[in-house]
């Protein structure tokens, strides 16, 4: 999303181009247009657009994409600090 | 009691002395006796609908039931009615938002046959309503998953709109008996929770990633199941941001009670150890500072988000917080000494920065790595500002 840019150089996104089978599913599922297919190989076109939702890695049949997925939500992250990652929840009355 | 309707006088008292509504022996009902025995003048409601079943409630968004090889499937209306709008308003205000859901399973719109597309969605009623509203003049099957009443993207993030749930719901609804093809159209934002290649392996159904927004589905269907680039990217318009504000505010109810109490307690401290009149008079000012912080961080910053300088939300909130704090403290300058003004501005800034930082959870573009990075910097600063605000506020009571 060009009108909104968040902090640069933070994403955990990695792409191993050697493993890419060129199916293009990453380009389809990414809601921020991070990937583009060049000569039947995926390339990271806009790294700082990544919000680490994990859709690309989840759907890559070649497991060529790595990302530590999660929700970019301060209230949730505070909960993980206090209660630990497993007990934290972003359901009930908090955010989404 | 019947002064207004004298023609009904005595109608609520049965001639046999029985209280209204209780009938000892069922009398044969004829059109004539119905007319005569109507209590208090209102005509009786319609007869039970043929689709009603003991133990079930007929929902008002269901038009009728269509027969399919797997039994009757509800055909839903594509126009939203008053109860749908009222329900949407209620959840937008953050009231009982976790209970706004419909039963998972197979529904339909129009007159779908065995070749009609299958659209998959969440069972949050707001999501379902937005989808069916976008399907006017379309014939399609709608497979509603059990996402525990959570919208598509959030449910996918929580692994509720998941590969397993898609496979389970396809099997449980016996979809293969209803359609002759093997394609499911899923909203693109479900890709965080659903691995398309695993769905194919486990259910035989091929996932086709539909557009992000329901309003693009008609175009997607008529365009040979192809989405334009713009349909694949999230946006965050001013309207999108404004509708989120009431829910943000509703989260503040509980902490606000404690903050109000603390504000009055702190404000009472002074040269007389504790003064109730000071607690009231100065407490009000502190509450105004808090309210200004809420307005700046949870309302103004989200609305002005793209135009406030900075990338970090805590910084954006702090900027709006300082501006609001200075402006409002100037309005109340007759009630505030310099130290009190400083406390006022610090309080508004800290609250605004914190709340703006919390708005990250409502946006569709902040990464967890980024949010954590800004929080590690911002929270110590916000805490320091709040502490300084309290010291300055109590100090101003002694200075004055």
Q: How far is A44 from chain B (nearest CA, A)?
A: 16
Q: What is the mean pLDDT of chain B?
A: 90
Least confident among B40-54, B234-248, B260-274, B358-372: B40-54
pLDDT band for B274, please (50, 70, 90 cuts). Answer: confident
Could B188 and A73 be called an inter-chain contact, meaning their C-beta atoms sit closer than 8 Å?
A: no
Q: Return the pLDDT at A2.
A: 57
Enter the ipTM: 0.92
Q: Return the pLDDT at B97.
A: 87
Q: Return the pLDDT at B157.
A: 92
pLDDT band for B370, please (50, 70, 90 cuts). Answer: very high
Asked if pLDDT for residue B203 goes beyond 90, the answer is yes
Among B92, B368, B377, most A C-beta atoms within 10 A, so best to mutate, is B368
- Most confidently modeled of A75-84, B117-126, B264-273? B117-126
Q: Return the pLDDT at A54.
A: 96
> What six digits make up the tokens of B172?
């449980």
Which stretch of DSSP H or E encloses residue A43? Answer: strand A41-44
Q: Return the pLDDT at B58.
A: 87
Among A10, A30, A69, A72, most B C-beta atoms within 10 A, so best to mutate, is A72
Q: How far is B154 from chain A (nearest CA, A)?
A: 6
For the whole prediction, is pTM greater than 0.95?
A: no
Kindly report, residue by residue over B179-196, the tens digit of the pLDDT: 999 999 999 999 999 999
Q: Return the pLDDT at B224.
A: 96
Q: Which of A4, A74, A96 sits opposite B365 (nearest CB)?
A: A4
Among B196, B244, B371, most A C-beta atoms within 10 A, so best to mutate, is B371
Q: Return the pLDDT at B149.
A: 96
Q: How far is A90 from chain B (nearest CA, A)?
A: 8
Backbone angles phi, psi at A67, to 5 degrees: -160, 145
Asked if pLDDT for residue B6 goes beyond 50, the answer is no
In chain A, the largest separation of any two C-alpha atoms, in whole Å, equals 47
Asked if pLDDT for residue B37 goes beyond 70, the answer is no
Asked if pLDDT for residue B399 goes beyond 90, the answer is no
Q: Which residues of B touch A51 (CB under 8 A)?
A: 364-367
Question: Could you tell me what percent of chain B has a pLDDT over 90?
Answer: 80
Could A1 and B365 be called an inter-chain contact, meaning their C-beta atoms sit closer than 8 Å?
A: yes
- Ranges in chain A, pLDDT < 70: 1-2, 89-96
Q: Return the pLDDT at B38.
A: 53
Determine the Cα–Cα distance for residues B306 and B316; give it in Å rounded to an integer: 10
Q: Which residues of A touch B158 (CB under 8 A)?
A: 90-91
Size of interface A-B (CB pairs under 8 A): 147
Q: Which residue has the tokens 């509980």?
A: B254
* Nearest residue to B105 via CA among B184, B155, B168: B168
Q: What average pLDDT score do residues B70-94 get?
A: 96
Q: Which residues of B touch A24 (CB under 8 A)?
A: none
Asked if pLDDT for residue B40 goes beyond 90, the answer is no
Residue partners of B241: CB distance under 8 A and separation at least 6: B302, B303, B305
* Nearest residue to B311 via CA among A70, A3, A6, A43: A6
Asked if pLDDT for residue B309 goes beyond 80, the answer is yes
């Amino acid at each position: 999303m060009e009108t909104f840019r968040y902090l640069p150089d933070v994403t955990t996104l990695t792409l191993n181009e050697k493993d890419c089978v060129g199916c293009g599913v990453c380009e389809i599922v990414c809601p921020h247009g991070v990937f583009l297919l060049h000569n039947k190989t995926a390339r990271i076109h806009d790294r700082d657009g990544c919000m680490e939702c994990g859709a690309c890695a989840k759907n890559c049949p070649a497991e060529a994409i790595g990302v530590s997925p999660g929700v970019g939500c301060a209230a949730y992250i505070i909960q993980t600090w206090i209660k630990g990652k497993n007990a934290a929840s972003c359901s009930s009355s908090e955010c989404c | 009691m019947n002064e207004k309707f004298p023609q009904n006088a005595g109608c609520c008292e049965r001639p046999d002395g029985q209280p209204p509504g209780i009938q000892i022996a069922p009398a044969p009902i004829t059109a004539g006796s119905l007319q005569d025995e109507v209590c208090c003048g209102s005509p009786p409601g319609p007869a039970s609908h043929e689709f009603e079943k003991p133990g079930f409630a007929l929902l008002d968004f269901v038009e009728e039931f269509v027969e399919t090889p797997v039994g009757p499937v509800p055909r839903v209306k594509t126009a939203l009615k008053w109860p749908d709008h009222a329900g949407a308003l209620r959840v937008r205000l953050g009231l009982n938002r976790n209970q706004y859901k419909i039963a998972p399973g197979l529904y339909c719109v129009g007159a779908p046959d065995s070749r009609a597309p299958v659209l998959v969605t969440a069972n949050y009623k707001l999501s379902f309503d937005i989808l069916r509203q976008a399907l006017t003049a379309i014939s399609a099957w709608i497979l509603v998953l059990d996402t525990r009443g959570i919208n598509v993207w959030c449910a996918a993030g929580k692994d509720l709109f998941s590969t397993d749930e898609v496979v389970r719901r396809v099997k449980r609804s016996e979809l293969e008996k209803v359609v002759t093809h093997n394609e499911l159209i899923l909203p693109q934002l479900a890709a965080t929770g659903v691995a398309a290649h695993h769905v194919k392996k486990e259910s035989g159904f091929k996932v086709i990633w539909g557009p992000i927004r329901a309003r693009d589905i008609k175009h997607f269907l008529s365009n040979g199941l192809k989405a334009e680039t713009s349909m694949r990217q999230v946006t965050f318009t001013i309207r999108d941001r404004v509708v989120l504000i009431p829910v943000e505010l509703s989260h503040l109810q509980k902490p606000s009670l404690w903050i109000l109490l603390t504000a009055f307690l702190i404000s009472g401290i002074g040269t007389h150890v504790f003064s109730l009149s000071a607690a009231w008079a100065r407490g009000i000012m502190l509450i105004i500072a808090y309210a200004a912080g809420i307005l700046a961080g949870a309302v103004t910053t989200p609305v002005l988000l793209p135009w406030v300088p900075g990338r970090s939300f805590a910084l954006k909130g702090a900027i709006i917080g300082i501006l609001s704090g200075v402006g409002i403290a100037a309005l109340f300058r007759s009630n505030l000494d310099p130290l009190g003004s400083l406390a006022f501005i610090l309080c508004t800034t800290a609250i605004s920065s914190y709340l703006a930082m919390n708005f990250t959870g409502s946006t569709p573009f902040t990464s967890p790595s980024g949010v954590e990075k800004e929080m590690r910097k911002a929270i110590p600063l916000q805490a320091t500002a709040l502490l300084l605000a309290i010291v300055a506020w109590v100090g101003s009571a002694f200075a004055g």
